Amino acid sequence: MRLRSVSISRYKNLRDFSLDFEGEEFIDIFVGKNGCGKSNFLEALIEMFDHLYTFGAGNAGPGFDYTLIWETKGTRIELGWRDGQLSITGKVRQKIGRTPLPANVIVYYSGQNETVAELIDRYQASYRSKVRKSNVAELPRFIGIGPDYKALLLALMLMMPEDTRARQFLCTKLGIEGVGSTTWLKLRRPSKGIVHQSRQYDPFADYELFWGVQGVAREFLDQLLGCITGDFTPGSLYARDSDTYRLDIDVEKFRETFANTPADEVFCQFNALRALGMIENVSIPVRLGGEVEVTSRAFSDGQFQSIYLFAISELFKNRECVTLLDEPDAFLHPEWQYDFLSQVLQISEEAARTNHILMSSHSASTIAAQVETRLRVFEVNDRKVTPAQKEKSEIIGSLSAGLISFSEAEAQLSIHHALESTQGPVVFTEGVTDAVILEVAWGKLYGALPRPFEIQDTFGCGFLGALLREESIYNDHPNRQFFGLFDFDEAYNNWNSNNTDFVQQDVARGLVRRKQNHPGFFILLPVPPDLSIRAQVINPKNGEHYRERSALPIELLFHDAPGLEEHFCDDQSRPGNIRKLHCKKTKFARKVVPTIDAAHFECFRPVFEFIEAQINAEVAVGQP
């Protein structure tokens, strides 16, 4: 499913507005300052699809003329609304008929856009009425996903079979090593207008169980009753003082019961309960690194916000969908904003074919990520909003009022200039502070002994990984060796590159991979056996490392050095008592690291020894 063109006659500040979507990108990003029309565009799309989904005789329309063109399964479809008449592929029609529409429009809204929230509430109210009055078992056309969906969606994904890709993705990103055997679901009396709000219902009377709810909601609840652990009676499930039911659902029984039910249909059943206002709480215990146990509700909105889209897209990968994201990165930490697009782009190939994502943002941090996407800038000129395509560096400068500058071309040019002005092997680091620490480490361990390699900082682990994978660096600088030093944390994914082979597999000395057919080495920080926070990387039970869920940036190699206690603290954003640096990296590297005793730099010796061994081996090969 791909939108191909949208034209709007007039909606708020959008006048004679049109936008094309040629190409096969499954995500389009709209950027611009507040008030430039980004959110208005998404609102207008919701109004258009609402009009099409509810189209019938006498339908007054959304209040503006529009044209929508999309492509599905190789067929191009054009729908137009002008002067109160609907046309399909140029022909006036009285009904939508069998014209294929997107199965669902998924809308993320943070609560800041009241118009979007009202549009979704309007549609959900209609769906709620259908759930109450009939046996409707389909998802509503519009699926509004806000922060209040977090607990339900996460619990549902964790109850999916363990080999479900979206479930594996969530566990990896949230650091979940194990999931409890029971999920508890707390139900409250349905919303006003669905059941009597003051009447006493007898839970032992079958027709009054769950406050007398019938239809598809009751059928689903009966299925969940079959998944409850242990012996129970309707009365034992009901708490009269709080007027709630609690169902302790056995995860294995749940998987067996719904083994032949598609994931989107299971979500549909839960969504029906939610539409009736019946879900008060849902949670499942999980185990994190270091045997820390919490409930699924312990994760912050920010942690889940940056990855929920993957789960939604996987759930609906068999449906033709349009997903609208209204500033989903608005409340993320800048570092999480930078990673947001990378995580979105890990959506499965199937989901990418069926789901077209449209996202608005005004975050320079998000746009600065080294991810290929189609960017449009919404600008207001002469009171008219126009979309334009510009260079990424220009967009970032505009969004940040010049406070942030970024250009991949400039970054590449900077590295190229550094290489042209040096000779011999080069050790690249993720950033400036890493380079400073590495220079100090050499001096502490080897004193005035000349260093047989240059040290050059780059622009993050993503840039470093891409640099060492790029063929041109080896072609432009033949007979030179290049080494990249990566932190043992989320940078693992950039270290663990394709077309590389292991050349060292000792975690204590640093895992090392080599680019096939080239002198490019990817080095992961060593994990000293006596490091007190070693469990942030190595599972003490089986000795295996946590891959990208590890938490060992270079500064934490000094965690046990005496007198530095004030520079480290618990990371409150991550469960499991994970330690982190408690001050600015620049200050720590330049002011604190040089004062540390040489004994605490021994962890770097294996890295230097490996580099020297490779350099000496290359020299030996080149000798006559």
Cα 124 to its chain centre, rounded Å, is 26
Phi, then psi, of 281 in degrees rounded to 5: -160, 150
469: alpha, beta or left? (left if phi > 0; alpha if psi -120 to 50): alpha
Rounded to the nearest 10°, the torsion over CA 603, 609, 610, 616 is 170
Return the ∠ at Cα 468 (arms to 503 and 428), rounded to 5°. 90
What is the DSSP-derived secondary structure letter of residue 218?
H
The 3-state DSSP class for residue 59 equals: coil
HEC-encoded secondary structure of 230-268 = CCCCHHHHEECCCCEEEEEEEHHHHHHHCCCCCHHHHHH
CA distance linking residue 264 with residue 251, whole number of Å: 18
- Give the amino acid at 435: A
pTM: 0.62
Dist. CA 283–CA 281, nearest whole Å = 7
Architecture of domain 2-103+319-399: 3-Layer(aba) Sandwich (3.40)
Tokens 């350099």, residue located: 615
Q: Which residues, at least 6 apart from 578, have a Cβ–Cβ distance to it below 8 Å?
A: 289, 536, 551, 570, 571
Q: Which two tokens stand for residue 65?
A: 């003329």
Q: Residue 411 is encoded by which pair of tokens? A: 């970054």
Task: Determine the Cα–Cα distance for residues 145 and 397; give it in Å rounded to an integer.
Answer: 31
Closest residue by Cα to residue 241 from 319, 188, 280, 183: 188
* Element holding 154 (H helix, E strand): helix 150-159
Neighbouring CB atoms inside 10 A of 196's CB total 12
CA distance 381 to 367: 23
User: Can you name the residues that pair with 428 across neighbouring β-strands?
Assistant: 456, 484
pLDDT reported for residue 272: 83
Dig out the tokens for 188 from the structure: 């409250």
Residue 493 CA to residue 489 CA, distance in Å, equals 9
Comparing CA positions, the residue from 112, 103, 173 lying closest to residue 146 is 112
- From first CA to last CA, the distance across the chain in angstroms is 62
What ranges do the domains of the chain cover?
A: 2-103+319-399, 147-296, 410-622
Residue 403 has a pLDDT of 46
Cα 367 from Cα 606, distance rounded (Å): 37
Q: What is the pLDDT of residue 373?
A: 64
Region of 378 on the Ramachandran plot (φ > 0 left; ψ -120 to 50 alpha; else beta):
beta
List the alpha helices (DSSP H) in 21-144: 38-53, 114-133
Cβ atoms 247, 182 nearer than 8 A: no
* φ and ψ of 522, to 5 deg: -105, 110
Rounded to whole angstroms, the Cα distance separating 327 from 146 reads: 12
CA distance 500 to 502: 7
Greatest Cα pair distance, the chain, in angstroms, is: 97
Report the DSSP pairing between strands 374-381 and 27-31. parallel
Radius of gyration of the chain from its Cα atoms, rounded to whole angstroms:
28
Q: For residues 425 and 453, what is the distance between their CA atoms, to the nearest angstrom?
A: 5
Predicted local distance difference test score (pLDDT) of residue 493: 87
Compute mean pLDDT per 10 residues along the chain, 624 residues long, and list them: 92 92 79 81 91 81 93 89 92 90 83 70 72 59 75 86 80 83 94 86 92 88 93 92 96 95 86 87 83 71 64 78 81 60 66 82 63 74 78 62 50 70 90 92 94 89 86 88 94 86 95 95 96 94 90 95 93 78 88 95 97 86 52
* DSSP code at position 299: S
603-606: list long-range contacts, CB under 8 Å, 24+ apart.
603/526, 603/528, 603/531, 603/557, 604/438, 604/441, 604/442, 604/445, 604/526, 604/557, 605/445, 606/506, 606/508, 606/509, 606/510, 606/526
Look up residue 615 and give its amino acid.
Answer: I
